[in-house]
A and B are shown apart, each in its own frame.
Chain A
Amino acid sequence: MATEPGTSAAERPAPDSGAVTEEAQPDHDPTAPDHAHPSEWEYIKVALFLAVVTAAEVGIYYVEQLEDFLVPLLLVFAVIKFAMVALWFMHLRFDSRIFRRLFAIGLLLALFAYAVVLATFEVWNR
C-alpha cells in the first residue's frame, strides 16, 4: 500500500479507527453515552419546569389583558419547551455536535423554506 509522503506509520490513523473528526470517539461502545447524561433528578426537574411552562401557556390564553402580547408570549413558551426537550431529554446538550448539526440543518431548512412560502402568500397580513 502506498503511503502519504511525510506521514509516518505511527502518525497515520488505523483504518476505521474513528480518528477523523474533533468529535471522534475511537472504539465506539454503544452501551456508553457519548458524554455523561443528566441524573434522574435533573430529568424530573426539567419535567416539572415543562409542566409549569405548559400551565403558564394555558393560563395566559384566558387572560384578556394579555391579548395583545398573546402570540409572542405563546411562541416564546413553545420555543423554551422545544429547546428544553431537545437539549435535555434528547441529550443534544451533552452528545456530539454532529447530532446537533444534523437536526439543526433539517429544522432551519424547514423554518426558512416554509417562512418563504407563508410570506409569499402574505399569511402575516391577514
Chain B
Amino acid sequence: MTVTTSEGTHTADAPPGHPPTSTGLSNEKVAMWAFLGSECLLFGALISTYLLFKGRSLEGTVKPEDVYDIPYTSVSSFVLLMSSLTMVLALAAIQRGDHRRLRVWLLTTALLGASFVAGQMYEFTVFYREGLKISANLFGSSFFVLTGFHGAHVTIGVLMLLSLWGLSMRGKLPTSRSETVELVGLYWHFVDIVWIVIFTVVYLIP
C-alpha cells in the first residue's frame, strides 16, 4: 500500500524513520561509497609515500628484503581474503532471514579479521627485534605508517562486526535492518582490497 503525505510517498512496509530519498537510493549507502572513495585518497597517499621512499634509506640500515617473510604474509593475505567471503555470506544470511547463520558468519569474519591483526602485530614484533623501528630509516617510517593505518582500519572493522553480532544476539538486528550489515560489509571489503594492493606493491614487487 502506498501512502502520500506532506513529506512524500511511503510504502506501508517501509520501516519507520526511513522515508524515500531524492535519488531513490539509501542515503547511508551513498555516504558509505563517498567515504570509501575518499579513503582511496588516504591510502593512495600512504602507498605513494612508501614508493617515494623505497630504496632511499641510509646504507647499512634494515632493508625490506632483510625482514620480509613472504610465505607468512601470504597466509595473512589469504585469511583476510577469505574473511570477505564470510562477510558476504553473513549478508546473504540476513537478507533471507537466517539470523543463526548471520551470527555464525559475522563471528567467523571477526575472528578471521582478528587473526589478521594478531598476525600483523607478531610481524611488527619480529621486525622490531630485527632492528626495524619506525624511526630507523625511511623504509621503517613509511612501512609502519602504511601497514599500521591499514591494521587500525581492520581493527575498527572487527569492532563493528562484533557490535553487529551483539545486536543480533539481543534481537536488535532484524531482517529489515540488513542494510546495516551491508554497510559494514562494504567497509570490510574495502580494507580487503586495500590489502590486495599493499600485499602486491609493498611485499611482492621487489
- State the CA gap A27–B78 with chains docked (Å): 40
If over half of A's interface residues share one DSSP class (helix, strand or loop), that class is named, otherwise mixed; here it is helix
- How far apart are B116's CB and chain A's nearest CB, in angstroms? 14
Closest to B10 in A: A27
- State the CA gap A57–B179 with chains docked (Å): 34
B37 close to A (CB within 8 Å): yes
Among A14, A81, A126, point to the contact of B55 (Cβ < 8 A): A126
- Hey, which chain A residues are within 8 Å of B190, CB to CB? 90
- Hey, which chain B residues are within 8 Å of A14, CB to CB? 4, 8-9
B19 close to A (CB within 8 Å): yes
- State the CA gap A23–B21 with chains docked (Å): 12
Are B8 and A16 interface neighbours, CB within 8 A? yes
Given A47-B85, A89-B84, A99-B33, decide whether A25 and B48 contact each other with a Cβ distance below 8 A: no
- Hey, which chain B residues are within 8 Å of A26, CB to CB? 9, 20, 24
Binary contact readout A44-60 vs B (1 if CB under 8 angstroms, 0 otherwise): 10110011001001100
Within B133-187, the residues touching A (CB, 8 Å) are 175-179, 185-186
Are B37 and A103 interface neighbours, CB within 8 A? yes
The stretch that binds A, out of B57-65, B123-131, B191-199, is B191-199
- How far apart are A34's CB and chain B's nearest CB, in angstroms? 7
- Count residues on chain B whose CB falls below 8 Å from chain A CBs: 72
Instruction: Return the 4 tightest CB-CB contacts between A and B, nearest first.
Output: A106-B37, A110-B44, A16-B8, A18-B24
Among A18, A44, A123, point to the contact of B21 (Cβ < 8 A): A18
B52 close to A (CB within 8 Å): yes
Are B24 and A30 interface neighbours, CB within 8 A? no
- State the CA gap A21–B30 with chains docked (Å): 14
Report B's interface with A, CB cutoff 8 A: 2, 4, 7-11, 13-15, 18-26, 29-30, 33-34, 36-41, 43-45, 47-48, 51-52, 54-55, 70-71, 74, 77-78, 81-82, 84-85, 87-89, 91-92, 95, 175-179, 185-186, 189-190, 192-193, 196-197, 199-201, 204-206
A and B contact pairs by CB, cutoff 8 A, 16 listed: A18-B21, A30-B179, A31-B15, A43-B88, A47-B85, A54-B78, A57-B200, A70-B205, A70-B206, A85-B196, A98-B33, A106-B36, A106-B37, A109-B41, A113-B41, A114-B48
Are A34 and B25 interface neighbours, CB within 8 A? yes
Are A109 and B40 interface neighbours, CB within 8 A? yes
- Hey, which chain B residues are within 8 Å of A61, CB to CB? 70, 204
Closest to A124 in B: B51
Closest to A121 in B: B52
Given A28-B20, A98-B25, A126-B55, decide whether A110 and B196 contact each other with a Cβ distance below 8 A: no
- State the CA gap A85–B87 with chains docked (Å): 12
Within A83-110, the residues touching B (CB, 8 Å) are 85-86, 88-90, 96, 98-99, 102-107, 109-110
Are A50 and B13 interface neighbours, CB within 8 A? no
- State the CA gap A14–B24 with chains docked (Å): 13
Closest to B73 in A: A58
Are A98 and B70 interface neighbours, CB within 8 A? no
